[in-house]
Amino acid sequence: MTVTAKNLVWGAQRKTIVNNVSLDVAEGETLGLIGPNGSGKSSLLRLLSGLRAPLSGRVEILGQDIARVSRKTLARQLAFVQQNATTDTNVSVRDVVRLGRTPHRSALAGWTAADEAAVSAALERVEMAGRRAQAWQTLSGGERQRVHIARALAQSPRVMFLDEPTNHLDIHHQIEILRMVRRLDVTSVVALHDLNLAATFCDRIVVLQAGAVVACGTPAGVLTPPLLRDVFQVEAEVTFEPQTARPHIRFRAA
């Protein structure tokens, strides 16, 4: 397994936010995290990526306990894409992506041909190479998300964590971003709000409720009317796409 979490517990102000979570992510898999607001998706992502330390339990990336790995070494193995990352600095697209090379460079090292090749390759993969000189502030929301994914790719990670990367984007850009993530040759863990997007683009889904895992499996096995009723408090009909057998959820009006 590329990512393994064992009995993770984390909380704040005497409230347990992540409650005894265990999960595995296979190499090359896209795992979706879904759940109601406040279910612990973002907190779990930060624990898995090492941005937070658990109160108990552990996380292994590529067989290594991340608590025993240096931050720089960890940053060479994984990347984190937060939702709606912004900056007020007047920088170009290329400048933003160049930041992804930081874990691979020493404090006094100059910019190398390998660094430039990694940045160029990352921009090509997100189809933003033609915008490398464009000012960050002039980009649309979908374009900014592409650039942040390119910055993550410039780290040359084996694993990518994405926290609601489609939040506040129109449906076209939501599909575009997730389709692009699916095409990347990395293991991905993605927190998503839209259940149909999770069903379409994830290999497996973990459902969180009150910080605990209540279901884990394929979209077809997890996204059932009883679960949607119990966890999300909605009545829905679930049908299946003829060609892909992936579920499609239609919510019922009251």
- Is 77 a domain residue? yes
Question: How many domains is the chain built from?
Answer: 1
Cβ–Cβ contacts within 10 Å for residue 251, how many? 13
Which pLDDT score is estimated for 230?
96
- Dihedral of CA 237/208/81/88: which sign? positive
Mean pLDDT per 10-residue run, the chain (254 residues)?
A: 96 93 96 96 96 96 94 92 72 94 82 92 92 92 90 93 89 89 92 96 97 97 96 95 91 78
- Is 254 a domain residue? no
Task: Identify each DSSP E strand in 82-170 by its residue range.
Answer: 159-163
- Is 38 a domain residue? yes
Which pLDDT score is estimated for 20?
97
- Is 240 a domain residue? yes
- Is 119 a domain residue? yes
Task: Measure the CA–CA gap between 32 and 102, rounded to whole angstroms.
Answer: 28
- Is 24 a domain residue? yes
Enclosing domain of residue 240 = 1-249
- Is 29 a domain residue? yes
> For the domain that residue 212 is a member of, what is the CATH number?
3.40.50.300
Closest listed residue to residue 216, CA positions, set 39, 44, 57, 35: 35
Which pLDDT score is estimated for 168?
78
Rounded to the nearest 5 percent, the helix, strand and coil shares of the chain are: 35, 30, 35
- Dihedral of CA 193/197/201/206: which sign? positive
Which pLDDT score is estimated for 248?
94
Which pLDDT score is estimated for 79?
95
- Is 72 a domain residue? yes
Which pLDDT score is estimated for 83?
72
